Chains A and B, each alone.
Chain A
Amino acid sequence: MAPGLFMFTVYVLWPIVQSITLSFYDWNGLYNQDGEFTGTFVGMGNYAELIRDPAFETSLWNNFYWLALYLLALPAGLLIAIFLNQTVTGIRLYKSLFFFPFVISQVVVGLIFAWFYAPNFGLFYLLTEWVTGDGTAILADPDLVTFGIIAAGLWPQIAYVMILYLTGLNNVAPDQIEAARLDGAKGWRMLWYVVLPQLRPATFIAVIVTVIGALRSFDLVSIMTTGGPFGSSRVLSYYMFEMALGEFGFRMGYGAAIAVVLFAIMMIFISGFIWKMWRDEKER
């Protein structure tokens, strides 16, 4: 076990501690000739600056939209799973083709959707032009851009949730369904009172991966808009990267402070997950 734990400590646990420490410093990422750290301690300075930073506020709001809208993947995934949970010829192939978007890289998903949204000839543009008479270049519109990117992110996420629910549906106890059917349960009532309670483990995992996915959104923002136009599609993860390694120079301490905020938000969900696992362990 030792090597695994060692690697994990060096590359994951220790960096977390370092980042938190770093968030109290002002550092440009360089060392002096003697290899000494050149940062200066600024206490809560970085955090005080964050509160007043409008770009931080935008990013935080966008993260909130991501989180809220990403959860739409749950009902959508469940719907597709129910739609596909049949035994007709070729259904296996259908299921795997529906799962496709999740397998391909987010970079590729981003490029596909950038093409889809492209002004003048993109399908989405043509569609809006046809409906409203005036095309919308969604990635150039500061008010809509985040929603455009979220839609792109939902595509693979729905596929993931779908596969979780398909597996879950496979394991729903058939005798309970039959019993409920004899009692006259149908459609929505059946879904709500009989099926969904049995899908709870699947729902739980789906919520966790969706929330984590929403907060980790970096690739799509970076590929599709690089945070623009005018920084309106930034999220915390991207803003942090921009501050620490981007064109605005190497503000490592400030970046670390943003990362700590994001970490704190995620920690809420991680603790929830751990807490549930811990309860399950005890029951055994």
Chain B
Amino acid sequence: MFPRPIQQSSPAVQWLYSIALPVALLIWLFPLLGVALTSLRPASDLAQGNYFGMPSGIAWENYIFIFTETPIGQYMVNSLWVTIPTVIGAVGLSLMTGFALAVYGFRGNILVFFMFVAGNFVPFQILMVPVRDMTLNLGMYDTWYGLALFHIAFQTGFCTLFMRNFIKALPYELIEAARVEGVAEWRIFWFIVLPLMRPAIAALSVLVFTFIWNDFFWATVLTQGVDSQPITAGLSSLNGQWIAQWHLVSAGSILAALPPVLMFFLMQKHFIAGLTLGAVK
């Protein structure tokens, strides 16, 4: 193990480490804590210049205000409308593409695979004009499904990379044995491969959920109004209206950050497994 386990060092060092940990964490998360505190500070405190002292009270009304006086609730619902279909769509499609690319050695297999991988890394801007134009022509501009369709297509690239490598790592004998028994291909996929894919599906679902929830660029390019804008774009436009009303900006930020954070805490193992795929050999 590297570095040397702390238990082997002197008590003084151990004590120092146990102090250093929380201190480092506090510094690391300082900006976030500051915002969390500000979101609970009454507006009057900020007006009097009391930014960092003791708050004069805990102001849940900031949260109540942004829910009742601004469309933030609607934005969050919109976000869900985009995110959930995307997760289902991208994971579903990539299960099939991943299976095909991992199991069948057809000509151009590797080429198609690399296309998915490369597509995954292109700058969004090179897709922006044509995708926006196409979405407009299809009459899907400013709708949740217009946005979700694009996300599904784009995320399929990343998910295929993931699924294909995962299926490739499964014992191929399993599939061969089933073929010898005369099991149909789609049944092999459904009854043999799919049950083994559960961890991959879980990992990808959390990752895609977080990516899409946090997406800002496409939300700005493909949606406009309160009826379809997801939370990221919504928060940005609210930020324009709330000039310097930091207690509201903070409360909105915390709300927007909450779902992915919850997702991460609930599914931590899968999340990290997905993210660090390829970091070890």
Contacts and interface: CB of A to CB of B under 8 A. Distances in A.
B86 to A, nearest CB: 12
B129 A256 contact: yes
B157 A177 contact: no
Interface stretch (B58-66, B147-155, B175-183, B193-201): B147-155
A259 to B, nearest CB: 4
Interface string A170-190: 111010010001000000001
Interface residues of A, number: 97
Nearest to B101: A1
A129 B3 CA distance: 39
Nearest to B257: A104
A11 B154 contact: yes
A260 interface: yes
Interface in B19-39: 20-21, 24-25, 28-32, 34-35, 38
Contacts of B117: 273-274, 277
A56 to B, nearest CB: 13
B31 A163 contact: no
A4 B210 contact: no
Interface in B73-124: 93-94, 96-97, 99-101, 110, 112, 114-119, 121-124
Given A4-B97, A201-B280, A111 B253 contact: yes
Interface stretch (A47-55, A131-139, A239-247): A239-247
A71 interface: no
A270 B93 contact: no
Interface of A is mostly: helix
Interface in B192-249: 210, 213-214, 216-217, 220-221, 232, 235-236, 239, 246, 249
Given A19-B130, A85-B2, A121-B49, A116 B31 contact: yes
B112 A5 contact: yes
A105 B96 contact: no
Interface of B is mostly: helix
Nearest to A176: B2
A14 B125 contact: no
A223 interface: yes
A103 B127 CA distance: 25
Interface residues of B, number: 92
Interface in A228-282: 236-237, 240-241, 244-245, 252, 255-256, 258-260, 262-263, 266, 269-270, 273-274, 277-278, 281
A105 B127 contact: no
A136 B121 CA distance: 36
Interface in A54-99: 82-83, 85-88, 94, 96-99
B154 to A, nearest CB: 6
Given A107-B256, A237-B123, A98 B25 contact: yes
B248 to A, nearest CB: 11
B51 interface: yes
B25 A96 contact: no
B126 interface: yes
B214 A215 contact: no
B2 A191 contact: yes
Contacts of A105: 213-214, 216, 232, 256-257, 260
6 nearest interchain CB pairs? A11-B153, A1-B100, A15-B130, A105-B214, A4-B97, A4-B93
9 contacts: A98-B28, A123-B31, A208-B121, A218-B125, A222-B216, A223-B236, A223-B239, A260-B126, A262-B126
Interface of A: 1, 3-5, 7-8, 10-16, 18-20, 22, 29, 82-83, 85-88, 94, 96-101, 103-108, 111-113, 115-116, 118, 121, 123, 155, 160, 163-165, 167-172, 174, 177, 181, 190-191, 194-195, 201-202, 205-206, 208, 212, 215-216, 218-219, 222-223, 236-237, 240-241, 244-245, 252, 255-256, 258-260, 262-263, 266, 269-270, 273-274, 277-278, 281
Given A103-B260, A163-B275, A241-B128, 9 more contacts: A7-B153, A8-B156, A11-B134, A15-B127, A87-B7, A208-B121, A255-B128, A260-B126, A281-B110
